């Protein structure tokens, strides 16, 4: 099947057909595949856009530099938010891969994006990166005055599943100076973190 035909299949109403096309694109990629998929990140067709996110996620590490570039430099908010989701997808698909610094630093910058679609997607992506994202999340939590970002970060810290998160979340849950919504979120994140860490212990 030609590359064009595979890209058309990414719009297919049947998710199995889309998935099959996505993996074929990732497996048979050439030097234009990544830029072509990145160009779909602003497509009006949500199905097509999500399929491009998943295909870039399946490609993995090679896709990170151009995706970070799109996330930080695109004028289009949909592209920036979708690019953050690609990085989350890569982390999910390749959990054994130490996430490249260019991806982590790009997401750190994206937390300062003025648009909530982008900064929340960036925080959620960092939540998928495990311990390597811990410092970035904590630094952003301590420096941002955006309550929505703080809530997203305390929630992401629960997913990180790192023992050091307990201390940070406990501090925010008990700090009277912190916004009450952030405190509540930190409290519920603590119980979720406990589950995540128990699950990891059982798993290892």
CATH number at residue 42: 1.25.10.10
Cβ atoms of residues 68 and 87 within 8 Å = yes
Cβ atoms of residues 150 and 144 within 8 Å = yes
Where does a domain end: 128, 143, 158? Answer: 128
Give the single-character DSSP code of 96.
T
Predicted local distance difference test score (pLDDT) of residue 36: 97
How many whole angstroms separate alpha carbon 170 and alpha carbon 155? Answer: 13
Range of the domain at 140: 133-204
Residue % of the chain over a pLDDT of 70: 99
User: pTM for the complete prediction?
Assistant: 0.92
Q: How confident is the model at residue 26 (pLDDT cuts 50, 70, 90)?
A: very high
- Closest Cα to residue 123, out of 99, 154, 97? 154
Query: Is 177 found in the same domain as 118?
Result: no
Where does a domain end: 128, 150, 167? Answer: 128
Query: Is 194 found in the same domain as 145?
Result: yes
Query: Is 72 found in the same domain as 90?
Result: yes
Where does a domain end: 74, 103, 128? Answer: 128
Mean pLDDT (whole number) for 91-117: 95
Domain count, the chain: 2
Predicted local distance difference test score (pLDDT) of residue 161: 81
Does 31 score more than 90 pLDDT? yes
Predicted local distance difference test score (pLDDT) of residue 204: 61
């Amino acid at each position: 099947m030609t590359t064009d035909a595979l890209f058309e299949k990414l719009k297919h109403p049947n998710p199995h057909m889309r998935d099959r096309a996505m993996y074929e694109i990732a497996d048979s990629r050439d030097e234009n595949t990544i830029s072509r998929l990145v160009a779909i990140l602003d497509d009006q067709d949500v199905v097509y856009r999500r399929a491009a996110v998943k295909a870039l996620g399946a490609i993995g590490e090679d896709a990170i530099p151009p995706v970070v570039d799109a996330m930080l430099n695109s004028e289009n908010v949909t592209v920036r938010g979708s690019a953050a989701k690609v990085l989350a997808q890569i982390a999910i698909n390749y959990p054994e891969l130490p996430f490249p610094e260019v991806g982590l630093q790009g997401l750190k910058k994206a937390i300062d994006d003025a648009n909530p679609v982008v900064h929340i997607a960036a925080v959620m992506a960092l939540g998928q990166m495990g311990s390597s994202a811990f410092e970035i999340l904590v630094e952003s939590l301590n420096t941002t005055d955006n309550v929505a970002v703080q809530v997203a970060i305390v929630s992401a810290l629960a997913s990180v599943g790192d023992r050091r998160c307990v201390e940070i979340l406990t501090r925010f849950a008990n700090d009277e100076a912190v916004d009450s919504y952030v405190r509540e979120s930190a409290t519920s994140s603590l119980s979720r973190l406990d589950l995540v860490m128990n699950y990891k212990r059982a798993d290892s």
